[in-house]
């Protein structure tokens, strides 16, 4: 089964933690070129070691066996969850990447019943991503207080 790659950038410094999801790719060569380009952008160039690549298979999540699917589209849906804890720290969970909105919604129903996520029902997100396209298009600025 085909592998997919999620590219994120994480910044950890005295002001806290920040993560940006850049995109999902099917080609590692293209992904590496994107990283090199991002290392020249504001913010990213100050944290050049903050890039992370996660390999995954389509339609897999934490609790289920891999589901095969005849995937012919050029986009996917990502299911995640995020909230701020009592100390205002960002807590994020990546569940999986799905070939259809229906598959993502079906997994969402399962995760909504788990105690950790039941307490933060507003924190679920299903986002549509175009494969092999960078989602974060510019650099960033870090404000120090």
pLDDT at 145: 65
In 1-145, DSSP assigns E strands to 3-13, 16-25, 51-57, 75-84, 90-98, 124-130
Q: Of the ranges 5-14, 52-61, 76-85, 133-142, which is most confident?
A: 76-85
Domain ranges of the chain: 3-130
Structure confidence by residue, pLDDT tens digits, 18-38 = 888 898 898 888 888 999 999
Question: What residues contact residue 67 under an 8 Å CB cut-off, 6+ apart?
Answer: 59, 60, 103
């Amino acid at each position: 089964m085909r592998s997919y790659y999620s590219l994120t950038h994480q910044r950890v410094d005295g002001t806290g933690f920040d993560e940006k999801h850049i995109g999902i790719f099917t080609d590692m060569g293209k992904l590496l070129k994107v990283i090199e380009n991002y290392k020249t952008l504001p913010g990213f160039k100050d944290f050049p070691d903050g890039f992370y690549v996660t390999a995954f298979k389509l339609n897999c999540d934490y609790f289920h066996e891999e589901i095969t699917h005849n995937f012919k589209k050029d986009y996917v849906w990502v299911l995640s969850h995020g909230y701020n804890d009592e100390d205002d720290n960002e807590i994020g969970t990546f569940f999986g990447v799905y070939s259809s909105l229906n598959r993502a919604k079906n997994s969402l129903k399962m995760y909504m019943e788990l105690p950790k996520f039941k307490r933060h029902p507003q924190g679920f997100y299903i986002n549509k991503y175009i494969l092999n396209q960078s989602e974060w298009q510019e650099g960033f600025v870090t404000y120090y207080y």
